Structure 1
C-alpha cells in the first residue's frame, strides 16, 4: 500500500480507520493529505496503475442539473408509456411495488394513502410508507453505531465524531450533516426497538409503524395464486370505492345515479352485488 510505504499521507479525517480510497462500481474516491507532495504521489501511483492495467481515469466534474436530464427524461417516458396503456389498478400496484419501490404519491386506487399503507391483513395494500421505512433505516444506523460495527461509515462516525464520548451524550451541531443531526433526533425512539430485540430494518419497521386490527376477509381476497385484477376489484368492493353511479353522482361527475342494467334502483355497491336479481342467459333476460 502506498501509504504504508510513505508515498503519500492520510487525509486528517481518515488516518484512524486507515481509509485511502472508496470504490463504487466504476467510480473511485481517493483521500489524502491536502499538500502538494501527497497529490504528486497520488498522481504517480495512478500513472503506475495506468501502465500496468492499460486503464485510465475520466476527467471528473461536479454533476450539474443538465447532467440529470437524460435520467429524468427516461423516467418520464416510462411513466408516459404506462399511462397510455391504461393499466388496471392491479397492474399499477404491481409496477409500484416491483419497479418504483413503493413510490409515495401512488394514485392508483380511490383510497387514502393511510389505508393503502396498511398491511393486507389489516385491510390495506401492503405498500411501505417511505417516511416510516426511512425512519427504520436511520434507527438501524443508530444501533450499528452503538454496536460499533456494520460499516466503514460507522467506524468513521465513532472515530471522528463521537470519539471519547458516546452517542447518548452527543449534541446536534450545525457543522454536522443534515443526516447525522436527523439521526441524533431519533435517539429516543431507538430504545423501543432495542428493548423488543428488533435486529433487521424490517423488524424495526414492524415495531414503529402504526398497526391496525386484523380483518377477517383478507385471506378471501389475497389468497395464494390469486388473480391480481380480481383481488383488487374485491378489495375495492369491500371498501365501497368502486365507480358506481351513486358515488359518481355524489362527486358531481354524473347527474343520473340509476342502475345502468335495471334502471329501477340507485346503482350502489350493495345493489350491484347483493340486491340485483336480473340474470342474462344466452341473451335472454330473466
Structure 2
C-alpha cells in the first residue's frame, strides 16, 4: 500500500487512538471526498453537490455535433449514453426531484427538440409522453424519478436476499432513504415461511393479506396477542398456530391461510425471500420487471406497431410519430397558442394549414399519391383526413403489404413537411415529381439494404414497375 496515495478516515475516536493511528504514517482525510466519481459523505447531499453530474451531462450534450443529428439520433443518444451516465447516480442516491431530476429532464428535453441545451425551443411532445413505451404512444425514454426508485429498491432487496452486501441498518442518510421506500418495497418483497424466525409477523409480506400491520393496525398486536417485533415463529407452537379466538373477517381470512400452509419449523431451514413481479417469484432482483410494474401507463395504440415496424427509417418513423400525435407546428396550431400568424397554408394560400390539409388533401401531396398509386398498382382513395390515411396505411394487400405502405407513407410525410419548411423559411419549393424521385431512390436503397430479411425480400419486385 502506497502511503503517499492513501488517506485514513476515522470518526468517533479519542485523541490517544487518533495519535496511535497517525503513527502508521498515513495522512488523515476528511469527508466529503469523491470515490469512483461519486461524492462520499455521512449526511444528505445538498442540491449544489449534484452539480458535478449536471455539468458532466452539459459537457456531453455540447460535445456532440448536433446539427448533423436527426431527432431519432438525439433520442438514441439520450437512451444510451445519457441514461447510462445518470444510472451511476440513480443506483446509489435518492436524487432530489426539484433540484436534480427535473434539471436532468429539462436538459434532455432541450437537446431532443432543439439540438442543444442552451436553446429554448418549444417541445413538441410532453416529456411524460416521451417516457411511455412505443406501444403506448411514447418513444421509450426513462422517467428518471421512477427509474431512481426502481434502482434503489435493489438496496432494500440486498438486505433480505442473503447476499454479501455491505449494507447494514444504521441511522445514516442512505439507510433512511431505504426506509422511505418501505411502502413500495412491500409490494415486491415476499417471504416464504420455513422456520418463521427470519420474517417479521407484522411488517414483512408473507401472507396474501400483505403486511399485517397495514391490515390490523396497531390494535392488532393486542387482539392477536403477538408482539410488534415478533417473528412469525412466535405465533405458533408444536401444537399449531396459537392465535386467539377469531373476531373479525380479516382474522378469519388470516386463519384460513395459516391452516393451509405447513407449520414453521427450524428443521425446514431459514425463510426464503423472493422478488414478486406479475405474480411470479424471482430469486434475484430484476430492474426491468420492477420498472415495468412502477412506470406510468397509457392505453395501447394499435398504430404504434406499424409506425415502429422492424426496418423503418428512424428519422422517418420519429417524424411520423410526431405527426400522428398532431404535434407539428403548423400555422393553425401556432395561432391556437396565441401567436399572431396567418393561418392559411404557406404554399397554396387558400386553405387553413393543419395536418389534415398538408398530408392527405394538399394538392402537392395529391401528385405524390398519384405516383404511389402507379408504383403499387393499388387503388389509393382520396383521403379527407388523417384517420383515413392511417387506416389505408395500416392495411395490407398482396401487391402492397403493410410494411411497404408504411415505408412509403413515412417517406412522403417527412418530405412534404421538409418542403413546406423550405417554402416558408427559404422561399424554395421543389416540384412534387422531383421530390418523389428522391422518395423513390430512398425506398429502393432501403429495400436493397434489407433484402436479406424475410419481410423485405419480395418488396423490390412489388415496388419497381
Q: Which segment drifts farther, 191-200 or 206-215?
A: 191-200
Q: Which segment drifts farther, 96-105 or 82-91?
A: 82-91
Q: How far off its partner does 1:31 sit?
A: 5.8
Q: How far off its partner does 1:177 sit?
A: 3.2
Q: How far off its partner does 1:234 sit?
A: 0.6
Question: Gapped runs of 5+ residues in structure 1?
Answer: 3-25, 47-56, 162-175
CA–CA distance in structure 1, aligned partners of residues 8 and 288 of structure 2 = 31
Match of 2:179 in 1: 184
SS of the residue aligned with 1:93? helix
Task: List structure 1 runs of 4+ shifted beyond 6 angstroms.
Answer: 26-29, 57-61, 67-74
Q: How far off its partner does 1:123 sit?
A: 0.8
Match of 1:140 in 2: 154
Match of 2:333 in 1: 247
Q: Is the 8 A contact 2:132 2:139 kept in 1?
A: yes
Q: Which segment drifts farther, 224-233 or 192-201?
A: 192-201
If the length of structure 2 is used for normalisation, what is the TM-score? 0.42
Q: Is the 8 A contact 2:57 2:82 kept in 1?
A: no
CA–CA distance in structure 2, aligned partners of residues 28 and 217 of structure 1 = 60
1:215 aligns to 2:215 (yes or no): no
Mapping for residues 260-275 of structure 1, pairs under 5 Å: 260-275=346-361
Q: Structure 1 125/85 Cα, relative in aligned 2: closer, same or farther at 3 Å?
A: same
CA–CA distance in structure 2, aligned partners of residues 281 and 271 of structure 1 = 19
Q: Which segment drifts farther, 29-38 or 259-268?
A: 29-38
Match of 1:125 in 2: 139
Greater relative contact order (Cα < 8 A, sep 6+): 1
Q: Which segment drifts farther, 185-194 or 128-137?
A: 185-194
Match of 2:71 in 1: 89
Q: Is the 8 A contact 1:140 1:204 kept in 2?
A: no
Mapping for residues 266-285 of structure 1, pairs under 5 Å: 266-278=352-364, 279=367, 280-281=432-433
Q: How far off its partner does 1:129 sit?
A: 0.7
Q: Is the 8 A contact 2:71 2:318 kept in 1?
A: yes
Q: Is the 8 A contact 2:335 2:342 kept in 1?
A: yes
If the length of structure 1 is used for normalisation, what is the TM-score? 0.65
Q: Is the 8 A contact 1:32 1:38 kept in 2?
A: no
> Which of 104, 112, 120 is the equivalent residue of 2:126?
112
SS of the residue aligned with 1:235? helix
Match of 1:193 in 2: 188
SS of the residue aligned with 2:124? coil
Mapping for residues 44-83 of structure 1, pairs under 5 Å: 76-80=58-62, 82=64
Question: Gapped runs of 5+ residues in structure 2?
Answer: 35-48, 87-103, 114-122, 190-275, 368-431, 436-465
The number of residues matched between the two structures is 228
Mapping for residues 2-41 of structure 1, pairs under 5 Å: 34=13, 35-36=17-18, 38-40=20-22
Q: How far off its partner does 1:41 sit?
A: 5.1
Q: Deviations over 1:69-111 (max 9, x none)?
A: 9987665454345587374322321222222217422322411
Match of 1:202 in 2: 288
Q: Structure 1 85/186 Cα, relative in aligned 2: closer, same or farther at 3 Å?
A: same
CA–CA distance in structure 2, aligned partners of residues 59 and 92 of structure 1 = 42
CA–CA distance in structure 2, aligned partners of residues 58 and 224 of structure 1 = 59
CA–CA distance in structure 2, aligned partners of residues 282 and 145 of structure 1 = 66
SS of the residue aligned with 2:186? helix
Q: Structure 1 140/71 Cα, relative in aligned 2: closer, same or farther at 3 Å?
A: closer
Q: How far off its partner does 1:238 sit?
A: 0.9
